Amino acid sequence: MCDQKSIYIHVPFCVKKCVYCDFYSETHLSLIPDYIKSLQKEIETRSGSKDKINTIYFGGGTPSLLPVKDIENLLQIIGDKFLISRDVEVTLEVNPGTVDLNYLRQLKKAGINRLSIGVQSFNNNKLRFLGRIHTADQAVKTIDHADKAGFDNISIDLIYGVPFETETRWLEDLKQAVMIAPSHLSCYMLTIEPGTPLGEKLKKGLVSPLDSRVMSRLFKKTSRFLGEFKYEHYEISNFSKGRQNRSKHNSKYWDMTPYYGFGPAAHSYDTKIRSWNHQSIETYIKDMDSGRLPVKDREILTLDQKMMEMIMLRLRTLEGIDMNGFESQFQISFQNYFNEILDHIRKEELGRFQDKRFALTLEGKVHLNNISEVFAKKIFL
């Protein structure tokens, strides 16, 4: 039994789909009651091992569309079926425009102790472009309400790199964020995914992505600016006020810790097998009503796949790759096996060795995708 697993619950409902989002969600809110019943069944069916859980994460979609009573009941079932750590981190993603002070107070009483607030921007023009349902004022009010409700572990999500973004405009968002001073910030670079409304606009030539050099400058500016305000850049998109305010849940993904994923489109991982549920609420409900697990597919990971995933995930982080841990898991020396690649990365000042670890520099993280491809060629060819 692994003694520190995680639980992710996917809440696939939105008031309105954002133009950039490629996560699975639907706007049919009438399905929420049946979804909740099926979700409870899935948790009960898959929870025979009494694993110890120290992070629970409600993601979406828009989890703050769920009635608090449903969230409370789900946490009760999880508490009955698993061993919950005393210091469990329980995060719920919140979208401004879907909550008020009373709702947030009830969330706190229900056992949620960390909020991830999807602000995305404090600029109304940018919010409209992204298809968000809230205004900048509503975002500020939601953060204020979260504080008044007693939450002291608050993360704010921001997006940068929209087609009309300038350094000045992005800095305005960052300045507003550091004035509010949340314990955690996630700053995501906009990616235009195929199949999204924004992807369709790109295909038709109605929008143009920012130049990659501009994106790189914005990325580095973000890191340096937030560093001045004592935010630790501990993962490529994440910043925390000290190690204690890092996202425990997301950190476990980067450490390749096993996790349960419940709900439509949710993924699970047990160190050997990765599986994922059907990306359809209707199919999910139908399977659970028929007594079947809603698993769409699974894959048994090879040693090479695990090695590549570890490298990709750990190079995203401040600490990078633990070379002793790598050798222990894969029975090869990281430094010897990848010697030529590592020498090139160091000469270009894109990475460094420190305390039996290898990590990318800020400039190296700009080139993370290219660097990962070089490691992939060595492993798989």
Please return the burial class of 119, using the count of CB atoms within 10 Å of its CB with bins 0-12, 13-18 and 19+: buried
- The answer to whether 56 and 7 are in contact (CB under 8 A) is yes
Digit-by-digit pLDDT tens for the chain (381 residues) are 446 899 999 999 999 989 999 889 999 999 999 999 999 999 999 987 778 999 999 999 999 999 999 999 999 999 999 999 999 999 999 999 999 999 999 999 999 999 999 999 999 999 999 999 999 999 999 999 999 999 999 999 999 999 999 999 999 999 999 999 999 999 999 999 999 999 999 999 999 999 999 999 999 999 999 999 999 999 999 999 999 999 999 999 999 999 999 999 999 999 999 999 999 999 999 999 999 999 999 999 999 999 999 999 999 999 999 999 999 999 999 999 999 999 999 999 999 999 999 999 999 999 999 999 999 999 998
Radius of gyration of the chain (CA): 21
Q: How many CA atoms lie within 13 A of 66 on its CB side?
A: 30
Q: Which domains does the chain have, with CATH numbers?
A: 5-254 (3.20.20.70), 303-380 (1.10.10.920)
Q: H-helix or E-strand containing 133? A: none
Give the strand pairing for 259-262 and 357-360. unpaired
